[in-house]
Copies of this chain bind each other. A is one copy, B any other.
Amino acid sequence: MQLFYSKEITETGYATLDTEESRHAVRVLRMREGDELHVTDGCGHLYRCAIVAADASACVVETLLEVTPPADTPRCRLHLAVAPTKNPSRMEWLVEKAVEVGIDELTLLDCDHSERSFLKTDRLERIALSAMKQSLHLSLPRINPAIALQEWMESGEGRAEKAGAVTQKFIAHCEAGQPRTPLDEALLPGHDAVVLIGPEGDFSEEEIQLALRQGFQPVSLGPSRLRTETAALYAAVAFSVKNEE
């Protein structure tokens, strides 16, 4: 199945695919008027549509019916807050893989030990969109631009919270001196989660203390020393495994 994306798509009426999606449908796949395709709004909905104007830069589609979302839509939300790596390609890789495995939100964290690197979130958003389509997810994860850890803590690290549900909050630091629970043990199935992943130089002592005061549980991610992006994906897979049942 080939999945298309349009912010505008609804259960009735018409929508115009953006340039890239239009080009893909009309130029690459050579679709014509009357051809049917599946379009998601990136908010959990999937529609079967028909092309009414096969324009390679502004393809217009009409919704035929809403398709019941497949069971793959995640019941629990995972929000990763990650200190960007110095090498942007490692973060781009993380976004692709984490979206395939299934996350709902990614926040770039400026930490005390961060190697400042200006990451274009629009590029990460494009990668997230194509990974969403590739893995047939119907929810487009939100990518939040870099924010200082302290500011983020104060402003609302609870963004992943779902009304009524308790969100588990974790910080995966590497301070061997301090007690940490394996993430897998700490995770409760059926709950949203926020996981903080630090920079190569780890979180500073102040950042760890701040997180603990804010109710974040310290967790470990397996026995190995993992790179930042590997640690973040490890957390995403552990969350997926825990909520698979």
Contact = CB atoms under 8 A, between A and B. Distances in A.
B182 A227 contact: no
A240 interface: yes
Interface stretch (A18-26, A108-116, A133-141): A133-141
Contacts of A136: 224-225
Interface residues of A, number: 30
Given A223-B74, A241-B241, A230 B184 contact: no
A123 to B, nearest CB: 18
Interface of A: 71-72, 74, 93, 97, 100-102, 134-137, 182, 184-185, 222-227, 230, 233-234, 237-238, 240-241, 244-245
8 contacts: A101-B230, A135-B226, A136-B224, A182-B241, A182-B244, A233-B233, A233-B237, A238-B241
A39 to B, nearest CB: 17
